[in-house]
Amino acid sequence: MQASSLLETGSKVGRSFSLATFLPTTALLLWIAFVATLSPTFGKPLTWPSGGLPDVEWVTAGLVGTAFLLLALALHPLVFATTQALEGYWGPSPLATLMAARASGRHRARLHSLEAMTEKHTQQLEDRSEAAYKKASVDHVSVDEWMSGWLDADENQTAQSLIVVRDAAAKARERYPESASRVLPTALGNALRREEDRIGAQYGLDALTIAGHLAVLLPPDQAEYLDDSRQQLDTAVRLCAAALFAFVATAGWLVVSGWSLLLALAPLCFAFVSYQSAVAAAQEYMYVFGVMVDLNRFAVYKAMRLHLPESGQEEVTQNERLMRLLSGVRTNMAYASGEASPVGAGAVSSKRDAS
């Protein structure tokens, strides 16, 4: 009975909160408590407390647990700000803009390198296939038809190597926006911005503008699916931020301990792994969000009492006006007569929840 009551209480607190905030905060505070028990001495290895770890009473443990929960609740609203910081939105200060410009420049250089690598290996593959086609003297089939069988041949190891490198470069290119001018200072920011620019563009929709309106109209099962994807991203982001803070705290505490300072590499490595997980989770989240736009954009049109478009061009034309209207620009819209059709409600999300 007590266990079921605890589970019910946990469900009321919210799975997103418990994983995305409470777990990273608790892990961070436990790590700092562990490091604080060490005794750093200048130039000497670490020493443990002579009496071992102190005994903890249940009352003290309860107070500490309550403090962890309160701190996690206080930090929960900072999930969005933490995500923005890891995306590369560092503010307008001179130092921040200088760092952002240099980091963006490195990513743009990598973007151009990946594009050049893809083009180079594509051209080499075409040259080799055309040369082999002419040498084979098979005029009864086209180059494309013959090339398919030629690439499948086991003896074409060189051509297959070119394909592997070309596809790897093209796959890495997919983590960047289409335009180099849209590149951000971080890998997470670029992965999110690419999808922000892409999702809904074929319908004349802007992903960030439509995100909040779409979220409140999602059917419950789809809203839960989207929330699960967002939870993975939030958890990875908070784990990365907590690990970075743990690295700074550990390095500051052990800076005089010589080789023992290497202990700070543990949270730094965990931060790197968590950041890579955040990039992968961001791609998954934006893919799910894109599917939701594809499936539910007509629910937005109905809720806004717009005419349902009968063609793709009509939809694009209407959505161009709709995006101006939702951005705060006074626009002359043509509305459908009658009441707006009720649509299943989902979880409310902020405008930047797609990012």
My answer on whether 169 and 199 are in the same domain is no
Asked if residue 89 is part of any domain, the answer here is no
My answer on whether 261 and 317 are in the same domain is yes
Whether the predicted pLDDT of 201 surpasses 50: yes
Give residue 12's pLDDT. 40
Return d(Cα 74, Cα 27) in angstroms, integer: 16
Q: 152: domain range?
A: 94-182
Give the closest residue to 186 by CA, choosing from 278, 273, 285, 286: 278
- Each residue's pLDDT tens digit, 24-33: 877 887 888 7
- Each residue's pLDDT tens digit, 310-332: 999 999 999 999 999 999 999 88
Query: Of how many residues is the chain composed?
Result: 355
Return d(Cα 130, Cα 122) in angstroms, integer: 12
Give the closest residue to 281 by CA, choosing from 245, 229, 210: 229
My answer on whether 109 and 164 are in the same domain is yes
What is the residue whose two structure tokens read 């130039």? 43
The confidence band for 152, taking pLDDT boundaries of 50, 70 and 90, is low
Between 149 and 194, name the one with better pLDDT.
194
Least confident range of 199-213, 292-306, 328-342: 328-342
Whether the predicted pLDDT of 202 surpasses 80: yes
Element (H, E) at 46: strand 44-47
Asked if residue 285 is part of any domain, the answer here is yes
My answer on whether 248 and 134 are in the same domain is no
Domain closes at, from 182, 216, 237 = 182
Give residue 342's pLDDT. 45
Q: Please indicate, yes or no, whether the overall pTM of this predicted structure exceeds 0.85.
A: no
Q: Which residues contact 146 (CB under 8 A, 6 or more apart)?
A: 133, 136, 138
Mean residue pLDDT across the chain: 80
- Each residue's pLDDT tens digit, 247-282: 998 888 888 777 778 889 999 999 999 999 999 999
H helices of the chain, where?
2-13, 15-17, 23-36, 58-75, 79-87, 94-136, 143-152, 157-173, 187-198, 207-215, 220-253, 265-303, 312-326
